[in-house]
Amino acid sequence: MIGTLLQLFVSYLKIGFFGFGGGYAMLSLIHSEVVERNAWLTNGEFSDIVAISQMTPGPIALNSATYIGYEVAGVWGSIVATVAVCLPALTLMMLITRFFLKLHDNIYVKSVVAGMKPVVVGMIMSAALLLILPHSAEGRSFIDGWSWAIFVVVLIASARKVNPILLIVCSGLAGVLIYGI
Amino acid sequence: MSRLIEIFWSFLKIGAFTFGGGYAMIPLIQHEVVHNHKWLSDKEFGNLLTLAQAAPGPIALNTAVFVGYRERRYLGSLAAILGVVVPSFTIILIVAIFFSDIRQNHWVDAAFKGMRPAVVALIVAPIVGLTKGMHWWMVAIAAATALIIWHFGISPVWFLVAGALAGVLYAAVKTRRAGLL
């Protein structure tokens, strides 16, 4: 139990510390720790949590920490993972606020951000790839032609700035109509 | 003390009403922090956004720490971060406790079958916009990064470190040249 909690703490500390580029880029990092390294979740369960995170308030990194923490080690697990994912942001931003208020036009900061940008975009692409072409058949996102139809419709709607929560809810309803009845 | 409660309450609202995370949160944060409480000016908020995006971790958390620290130092940071975390933690914990019981339900399963391809579409959608302003070779680096992470399961952390180092190197060469001229 303590070992699992420690592993959760380390994994989410890593996710918090290397969580550059916002939610979707962090997905690749979360996937790497939670699905690939520790096998706490399958690909399909990971995808379900992303859907739930879209429908509930708060950043996806926090949502996934609380959820996966609970799945792996109960309420304590969710507390440990949530605290761990907050710690790097807390300490780094305090330091930045205290010492480097003028950091935003420092050439080193700008160059580091520029250097990480293609990687961040690559991380978003890899998150998409991992869900479109998973390594195992379990929990595939695409099971038939309907899946691809939903994918295309949501992609177009999202490019036209339709609210993502609405899109998730409508896709859920479509799922009920297609697979439920 | 009353100021601490004010900070906590303000970020509690941000945590409870920002769905979708990341960039979707910015207008609400700006409304609370700049217009309602006048904790920051518009210009300071702009600079803060640059820093919050450069630092790891969710933007909402980083902003919370920054504003909290400016107002009431360590306690202020803590109050703000608690405010952001509490709503998402509570909601997700409740979902996690009940979800495993209903996940196998016929209708719920059908709904998630519909939502999974939608999640993938939501991840794919921003990629086009992100690659638009980039050089073709940066897009190539992004694509290569994605393929390597996907195929070999290598942690994205290594790519972030490499990108950051490339940025530092670039800045060092540039400042050296500027010094020589």
A14 and chain B in contact, CB less than 8 A: yes
**In terms of pLDDT, which residue wins out, B5 or A94?**
B5
Please check whether residue B79 touches A, CB under 8 A: no
CA distance B40 to B37: 8
**What one-character DSSP code corresponds to residue B24?**
G
Chain-chain contact of B160 with A117 (C-beta, under 8 angstroms): no
Which residues from chain B sit within 8 angstroms of residue A164, using beta carbons?
Answer: 19-20, 24, 122
With contact defined as beta carbons under 8 Å apart, do A82 and B86 qualify? no
- Of A99, A69, A86, A66, the closest CA to residue A8 belongs to A69
Residue showing tokens 């896709």: A171
Spell out which residues of chain B touch residue A141, defining contact as CB-CB under 8 Å. 116-117, 119-120
pLDDT of residue A100: 59
pTM comes to 0.85
DSSP chain A: -HHHHHHHHHHHHHHHHS-TT-HHHHHHHHHIIIIIIS--S-HHHHHHHHHHHHHSBS-HHHHHHHHHHHHHHHHHHHHHHHHHHHHHHHHHHHHHHHH-TTGGG-HHHHHHHHHHHHHHHHHHHHHHHHHHS-SSSTT-S--SHHHHHHHHHHHHHHHTT--HHHHHHHHHHHHIIIII-
What is the DSSP-derived secondary structure letter of residue B56? Answer: S
pLDDT reported for residue A103: 64
Give the pLDDT confidence score for residue B87 in this predicted structure. Answer: 92
- pLDDT greater than 80 at residue A42: yes
To 10 degrees, the CA torsion angle through B71, B76, B80, B81? Answer: 130
Positions in chain B whose pLDDT score sits under 70: 1, 20-24, 180-181
Question: In whole angstroms, what is the distance from residue B121 CA to residue B116 CA?
Answer: 9
Query: Could you tell me the residue ranges of all domains in chain B?
Result: 2-102
Instruction: Quick: pLDDT tens for B31-60.
Output: 888 888 999 888 888 777 777 777 888 888
Complex-level ipTM: 0.84
Q: Cβ–Cβ of B121/A44 closer than 8 Å?
A: no
Task: Output the average pLDDT for chain A.
Answer: 87
Number of helical H runs and strand E runs in chain B: 7, 0
Q: What is the pLDDT of residue B20?
A: 60
